[in-house]
Structure 1
């Protein structure tokens, strides 16, 4: 037994701290940073005239830079924990990037922090486990098993100084020789830095922590302390805003898509605006942005949450506002000051399974609300779970599978493109069914009554379904594909009160719109008079034939 123990001890790998650091950084650079190296190399070889030495310098530059950074964390007792954490984190980033094309910029970190447990678990699957074990856990075990050999304090310090100097010299030399080439590639391919594993993630997390936890809270700003309702008649008004999730416009047959994904609403007199852009590529950005007075270019979440949003103004004017959510991610702060209800995932069977509810559950809650209206003006927001992935197959009941074969798994990259698209299209078709049921409830409300009803449906962002190897959503807006930013926007109103308006809006359906228009469209739709209303930003305004209302809004703007 003693002989065996001596043998095992003898076989244990012994390395100096510098050697372990170099080997680990080489693994992270050459394996876990391969998406960055490949994308950078692809950008370089597309140049008309490029140097082979410049191409070869990329992995050397990243390796040297990584070694230089890690030298500052290579102290006796923290060397291994830091390197293991680096490998585990990098392996997760590598899987997400290779599998879904995810880039961990600030927006993605924000979205990750605001993701609920059920949504986060939907990304856990067999493929992710295998990747994590092989590329993360096994290398970490090797690092943990290595026996580090140390010299004297001054010997260690000198050794680390040599490695630090050598790596810095290499970085400096490459930067001097190829500065113009790196600068050119960087300027023309600003997305590349987002693939630098794991440092892009670390940088984004630091920025997120600074903005959300280290800055003092802003003083709340009131944009308008006295908005009012501008109804010119005794007609009651009910507006339902359906906030979609992860729906992309090009998969709506109302917009010309080849598959019949809108067979339930196509004959209901809806107007589909087919040229609408989102504010962001993730819910955490798009939802608070679209309800904010800030536009996409100036949007800042911290500032947006520290001022009134359009829901606040409508509520303050005296409109009965009610936010009903079937989205476990919450309203992102938008509904904090109005009545709201989060539908329990354990509520109605078989529409709910304990983790999610199908969106038809919203119709039941809406029906109850419509039968107990307390004010003349009502705004109801229905927040869907919609088409959120990667578990698209869980967004519609089995008996609502319109397109087959579909993809009944979360590791969607392992499904065929046809299966994946069919599954996603099933979510759109199911959303369409829910919208038709909402319209039916509103239509029944207007029959033989003086109630005026309308519905607006708009999605928060789109989705990538494997185009150019990209899946899901959340890419930085600057280089996000149109699949993630082109969103559906559908309008319905009862014909008895709105025929002329619907005809007018149909002629505007190809007009470019964005989430920036939602603020003013909502104010106009519920007829709230406010000094912050911008009629030029409300395309519906030119189709509002209520002369009294338009006059009141015009006077309101001029008074300011």
Structure 2
């Protein structure tokens, strides 16, 4: 190593040579996911040209050199190349290890990730990968001596290199344009693997969208929503917002392992075909509470208008948002009463960084027995199954499925260990839901308050299927594991018996996050011009309270 560094100290290159050698490394090493995926897509075609395949890395190399030539000059050369290499090595690790694509949504999710969550991705494997593919090549770049010609000489040499690269690019596009267009149209996700240019493009778009455009004027969708008072019964609805729970791992939905052993005995209704709005918290959470639909969702528009939580609060209900998920209401709860559970408390359920979700049951209990208003909505935001540190989402004594994976570099666990660990998080969520139901049932029995619970996750999770881990893939290319989520309903039998029977009969119907806005308005009996009854699947089971009591 030291001999190599000593050799580099005496090695002299022109800026153009350093740019070319660095781009060769970026193209053939740091862009391996792009090249391999492109080759794989071409190989499955009935016919393809070998020369087209050879042209792909050459085209990428010429494009990389061309881009770097426009940015790198004299003293800027080394810092920019080092930045490109370090950034590309991080992207390479994320892509190879977890299958992550850094599109706009992933950049948004990364920027809005809290410190504890970000640190969970750091482990020995990640550090060694970063050192090997990022730091060591950057040291080589830093140690090489650059020789400079006169300004005119440098400029002339740079123009020649730019012209050569441009000629190669134009020649390849002229000869193989139809092949590039065909592969590109049929595999739009490939662009997301271009390292580091895709992440730079997405970052520029994110900065422009969130920091350069002026904020929109806040829009009041409804200034006078009301709550129906069909009877004098008080009501409490608990919305449990799950985290990273996928429908496929719920035994309530047919999974072979008993991950829902507790709630299965409590008469819940589990909807079988529910789709998320996104594959990351930054999109899914504000989207599901917005009047906007998935196809026209825009964050700037969503945060600049009332959401369903605002309308329920304005209608006269007491609304509390209690979170065990650091800073992740994404603006949805900014106009109602909130409480963020502190992991630094002396609570045995907390370790200084995270709290287990049972802490939400403690907070709920305090709220339930201080209910004074006629209608109350309590939102409990879980940390749920957030990875990659799945093993930190459940207590030691709740390790239902063994052997589990007690590490954050989940790619180094066996598939069985990883699945067991994730299943433990689902089983623990099931325990928490059962405790919430028990609290609500007790409240209903003791004080004749109508109670109900809705549980829905923000998005799902990949556990190594097809080499993909975690979440956050662009929705158009995301696997079902990331977009199919659980939706569970429970209501006390005194007031909801007939409704539960009816909901069981329609639980196979497709539902999505687009329905949550109207489901909540309907459950809270809110009259609003924003309410769309046809968008509320529960509306098919809107039984009169007297009928519910008669059939119970």
TM range (shorter): over 0.9
For residues 372 and 444 of structure 2, the distance between their equivalents in structure 1, rounded to whole angstroms, comes to 16
Q: What is the CA distance between 1:503 and its match in structure 2?
A: 0.3
> What residue number does 1:464 align with?
462
> What residue number does 1:145 align with?
143
Q: What is the CA distance between 1:346 and its match in structure 2?
A: 1.5
In the superposition, relative to structure 1, how do residues 10 and 261 fare at CA in structure 2: closer, same or farther (>3 Å)? closer
Q: Is the 8 A contact 2:225 2:314 kept in 1?
A: yes
Is the aligned partner of 1:378 residue 2:368?
no
Alignment partner of 2:319: what SS? strand
Q: What is the CA distance between 1:8 and its match in structure 2?
A: 5.8
Q: Per-residue displacement from partner, 1:398-436 (whole Å, max 9, x unpaired)?
A: 000000000000000000000000000000000000000
For residues 309 and 192 of structure 2, the distance between their equivalents in structure 1, rounded to whole angstroms, comes to 35
For residues 145 and 448 of structure 1, the distance between their equivalents in structure 2, rounded to whole angstroms, comes to 75
> What residue number does 2:550 align with?
none
For residues 329 and 146 of structure 1, the distance between their equivalents in structure 2, rounded to whole angstroms, comes to 45
In the superposition, relative to structure 1, how do residues 248 and 8 fare at CA in structure 2: closer, same or farther (>3 Å)? closer
For residues 449 and 41 of structure 1, the distance between their equivalents in structure 2, rounded to whole angstroms, comes to 66
The partner residue of 1:28 within 26, 29, 39 is 26
Q: Is the 8 A contact 1:458 1:487 kept in 2?
A: yes
The partner residue of 2:229 within 231, 234, 242 is 231
Q: What is the CA distance between 1:11 and its match in structure 2?
A: 5.7
For residues 464 and 312 of structure 1, the distance between their equivalents in structure 2, rounded to whole angstroms, comes to 33
The partner residue of 2:333 within 326, 335, 345 is 335
For residues 421 and 240 of structure 2, the distance between their equivalents in structure 1, rounded to whole angstroms, comes to 22
In the superposition, relative to structure 1, how do residues 9 and 458 fare at CA in structure 2: closer, same or farther (>3 Å)? closer
For residues 458 and 470 of structure 2, the distance between their equivalents in structure 1, rounded to whole angstroms, comes to 13
Q: What is the CA distance between 1:449 and its match in structure 2?
A: 2.8
> What residue number does 1:45 align with?
43
Q: What is the CA distance between 1:253 and its match in structure 2?
A: 0.3
1:20-99 matches, cutoff 5 A: 20-99=18-97
> What residue number does 1:531 align with?
529
The partner residue of 1:449 within 447, 450, 463 is 447
Q: Per-residue displacement from partner, 1:313-333 (whole Å, max 9, x unpaired)?
A: 000000000000000142100
Alignment partner of 1:78: what SS? helix
TM-score by length of 1: 0.96
> What residue number does 1:545 align with?
543
For residues 487 and 8 of structure 2, the distance between their equivalents in structure 1, rounded to whole angstroms, comes to 69
Q: What is the CA distance between 1:231 and its match in structure 2?
A: 2.2
In the superposition, relative to structure 1, how do residues 372 and 415 fare at CA in structure 2: closer, same or farther (>3 Å)? same
Alignment partner of 1:124: what SS? coil
For residues 547 and 22 of structure 1, the distance between their equivalents in structure 2, rounded to whole angstroms, comes to 75
1:129-528 matches, cutoff 5 A: 129-528=127-526
Moved more, 181-190 or 7-16: 7-16
Alignment partner of 1:487: what SS? coil
Q: What is the CA distance between 1:102 and its match in structure 2?
A: 0.2
In the superposition, relative to structure 1, how do residues 144 and 11 fare at CA in structure 2: closer, same or farther (>3 Å)? closer
> What residue number does 1:552 align with?
none
Q: Per-residue displacement from partner, 1:160-206 (whole Å, max 9, x unpaired)?
A: 00000000110111011000000000010010000000000000000
For residues 103 and 8 of structure 2, the distance between their equivalents in structure 1, rounded to whole angstroms, comes to 45
In the superposition, relative to structure 1, how do residues 152 and 451 fare at CA in structure 2: closer, same or farther (>3 Å)? same
In the superposition, relative to structure 1, how do residues 165 and 257 fare at CA in structure 2: closer, same or farther (>3 Å)? same
For residues 428 and 67 of structure 1, the distance between their equivalents in structure 2, rounded to whole angstroms, comes to 48
Q: Is the 8 A contact 1:232 1:548 kept in 2?
A: no
Q: Is the 8 A contact 1:348 1:361 kept in 2?
A: no
For residues 72 and 10 of structure 1, the distance between their equivalents in structure 2, rounded to whole angstroms, comes to 25
Q: What is the CA distance between 1:548 and its match in structure 2?
A: 11
> What residue number does 1:109 align with?
107
For residues 172 and 112 of structure 2, the distance between their equivalents in structure 1, rounded to whole angstroms, comes to 40
Alignment partner of 2:236: what SS? strand
Q: State the superposition RMSD in angstroms.
A: 1.3
For residues 403 and 107 of structure 2, the distance between their equivalents in structure 1, rounded to whole angstroms, comes to 34
For residues 373 and 446 of structure 2, the distance between their equivalents in structure 1, rounded to whole angstroms, comes to 19
TM-score by length of 2: 0.97
Q: Is the 8 A contact 2:100 2:471 kept in 1?
A: yes
For residues 390 and 99 of structure 1, the distance between their equivalents in structure 2, rounded to whole angstroms, comes to 11
For residues 539 and 510 of structure 2, the distance between their equivalents in structure 1, rounded to whole angstroms, comes to 15
Q: Per-residue displacement from partner, 1:221-265 (whole Å, max 9, x unpaired)?
A: 000000001120000000000000000001000001011000111
For residues 181 and 159 of structure 2, the distance between their equivalents in structure 1, rounded to whole angstroms, comes to 29
In the superposition, relative to structure 1, how do residues 397 and 59 fare at CA in structure 2: closer, same or farther (>3 Å)? same
Q: Structure 1, unaligned stretches of length 5 or more?
A: 1-6, 550-560
For residues 442 and 37 of structure 1, the distance between their equivalents in structure 2, rounded to whole angstroms, comes to 55
Q: Per-residue displacement from partner, 1:318-367 (whole Å, max 9, x unpaired)?
A: 00000000001421000000000000002243200000000000000000
For residues 201 and 12 of structure 1, the distance between their equivalents in structure 2, rounded to whole angstroms, comes to 35
Q: What is the CA distance between 1:461 and its match in structure 2?
A: 0.2
In the superposition, relative to structure 1, how do residues 499 and 10 fare at CA in structure 2: closer, same or farther (>3 Å)? closer
In the superposition, relative to structure 1, how do residues 206 and 275 fare at CA in structure 2: closer, same or farther (>3 Å)? same
The partner residue of 1:125 within 123, 126, 130 is 123
Q: Is the 8 A contact 1:14 1:147 kept in 2?
A: yes
Q: Structure 2, unaligned stretches of length 5 or more?
A: 548-552
